[in-house]
Structure 1
Amino acid sequence: MMMMIRGLLLSLTLFITACTPVYRHHGYVPPDQDLSAIVVGETTQFDVESLVGRPTAKGLLQGSGWYYVGSRWRDFGALPPKEISREVVAVSFAPDGTVSNVERFGLEQGRVVTLSQRVTDSNVVSVGFIRQILGNMGNFSAGQVFD
């Protein structure tokens, strides 16, 4: 009888701990403290690399912008992983190589939301690229890539 109770308690303990959520982080988004060191109109592309690191993605046009992308996923038991948050920091550059804009975007209920921005005279040149990054992350699996 005592052996059965111990087995039941062990099984119950394993069952409860298996349902503990596990969080995974993908990508890199510089914190606000690091971004505050970037001065719009003065900081160069080389300075941005030394202040906050190399970007996750770059704009298609030469010098158009750098994009830092990060997301947080939650695995819970046997349920499929769920994306909890996604964030993109876009650093745009003027033709002379200085920073023209720094914006932070998030994803709220499937819609792109501007969380913060520092603009000189124009908005981010390639918002379509940002929307593509935010919209496509998590929509494919490794199995689809290698098939």
Structure 2
Amino acid sequence: MRKSSVLMALAVSTAILAGCTAQYRNHGYVPPEEDLQQIVPGVDTRATVEELIGVPTTSGILSESAYYYVGSTVKHFGPKKPEVVDRTVLVISFDEAGVVTNIEEFGLADGMVVPISSRVTTSGSNIGLIRKLFGNIGQLSADTLLGGG
């Protein structure tokens, strides 16, 4: 009987320790750099962008001037509220004819929106939307989005 008690205690302690391990989940989609290298500003269009890297996470929020690809990494740890530890926003801008004018990637550092890379100088017209995307870190839940909260 003593051996089974030790095994039971070992199993319970292993289960408790496993519950104390942080889990990271990725949400959204940001295309890999090798796929982005195939897009040529001034040449490619909305249709070729969709063909090369897929349909964007969102577009047309302010106008049809850009596609936004958003990816986040969320840390889940026991009973604590999930915490967004990383967020990347890729912005592909278009002119009135639907031709790519700019490709920019933004990250998060110390709570501030930080440009990671840019292929073409931008006028900054999309910065307000990007700040809103980063400003919602940790404030959105599936329940809220589905109308339950």
Using structure 2 for the length normalisation, give the TM-score: 0.89
Matched to 2:73, the amino acid is R
Deviations 1:32-68 (A, max 9, x none): 1111111011111110010011111113344310000
Q: 4+ residue stretches of structure 1 with deviation over 4 A?
A: none
State the Cα distance separating 1:123 from its structure 2 match: 3.0
8 Å CA contact retained: 1:106, 1:112? yes
Match of 1:146 in 2: 148
8 Å CA contact retained: 1:101, 1:123? no
Matched to 1:131, the amino acid is R
Match of 2:94 in 1: 93
8 Å CA contact retained: 1:90, 1:124? no
Match of 1:129 in 2: 129
Q: d(CA) in 1 for partners of 2:62 and 2:19?
A: 47
State the Cα distance separating 1:7 from its structure 2 match: 2.0
State the Cα distance separating 1:124 from its structure 2 match: 4.2
Percent of matched pairs sharing the same residue: 42
Match of 2:23 in 1: 22
Match of 1:111 in 2: 112
The answer to which of 124-133 and 38-47 deviates more is 124-133
Matched to 1:126, the amino acid is N
State the Cα distance separating 1:9 from its structure 2 match: 1.1
Stretches of structure 1 lacking an aligned partner (at least 5 in a row): none
Using structure 1 for the length normalisation, give the TM-score: 0.90
Coordinate RMSD, CA, aligned: 1.7
Residues 98, 124 of structure 1: CA spacing in aligned structure 2 closer, same or farther, 3 A cutoff? farther
8 Å CA contact retained: 1:59, 1:67? no
Deviations 1:85-119 (A, max 9, x none): 10000000012211000000001121001000011
3-state SS of paired residue (1:119): coil
Aligned residues: 146
Q: d(CA) in 1 for partners of 2:77 and 2:115?
A: 29
State the Cα distance separating 1:140 from its structure 2 match: 2.9
Q: d(CA) in 1 for partners of 2:129 and 2:14?
A: 47
3-state SS of paired residue (1:3): helix
3-state SS of paired residue (1:130): helix
